[in-house]
Amino acid sequence: ASMRFVSYGDRKAVAKALKPIYTATSDKTAREAFDAFHDSNWGKKYPHAVATWEAAWERFIPFLAFPPELRRVIYTTNSIESLNYQLRKVTKNRGHFPNDEAVVKLLWLAICNIEDKRARERAKERGKPAAERKAKPRLVEGQVVTNWKQALGQLAIAYPDRINPYL
């Protein structure tokens, strides 16, 4: 969220300056990294980015309790964002819906349509070496998430009552 205030030309440098905050091993080291960012040229140039971190600090701290492999799964949300974008596109131009069932039906049909399109793209590339394939993976059945098995193990340890019944 803090990157929305950063100009496009500075995003890589600011992201690099912010990385020590969310990769810190404890809340103390994260706070030190945040203070360093706050006092840096980037922090002075983009005070709204600093304010975003300050406003969300208490919600951010629990994230640091997770091990690095789980953190990566948590903050790597490209597939979720892609789906949300496509579903927003479907619902954006409709003024209102007569009931909740109409919304659910529209979203389900949109997901089926998205998956059908992806399946056609995958079918065209069938037989090509993996390095040459450009089609997107399955949407409905889930994509491959790097280190998901390790992350699932950590979640099962952290939240046994929520995870274990579904394993």
Positive or negative: CA dihedral 67, 70, 74, 75:
positive
Taking the C-alpha atoms of residue 31 and residue 39, their distance in angstroms, rounded to an integer, is: 12
For residue 40, name the pLDDT band (cuts at 50, 70, 90).
very high
Reading the block at residue 5, the tokens are: 């205030």
Give the contacts of 114 (CB within 8 A, at least 6 positions apart).
Answer: 83, 86, 139
Question: Which residue type does 164 have?
Answer: N
- Whether pTM > 0.75 for this model: the answer is no
Average pLDDT rounded to a whole number, residues 16-26:
90
pLDDT beyond 90 at 53: yes
Average pLDDT rounded to a whole number, residues 156-161:
84
pLDDT beyond 70 at 125: yes
Reading the block at residue 53, the tokens are: 């971190």
How high is the mean pLDDT of the chain? 83
Q: In this predicted model, what pLDDT tens digit does every residue of 55-106 receive, in sequence order?
A: 999 988 888 888 877 777 776 666 667 778 888 888 887 878 899 999 999 9
Q: In this predicted model, what pLDDT tens digit does every residue of 95-117 receive, in sequence order?
A: 788 999 999 999 989 888 888 88
Taking the C-alpha atoms of residue 34 and residue 39, their distance in angstroms, rounded to an integer, is: 9
Q: Where are the domains of the chain?
A: 2-65, 78-144
pLDDT beyond 80 at 118: no
Whole-number pLDDT of residue 133: 76
pLDDT beyond 80 at 126: yes
CA distances from 79 to 21, 39, 75, 84 (A): 24, 34, 11, 9
Whole-number pLDDT of residue 112: 86
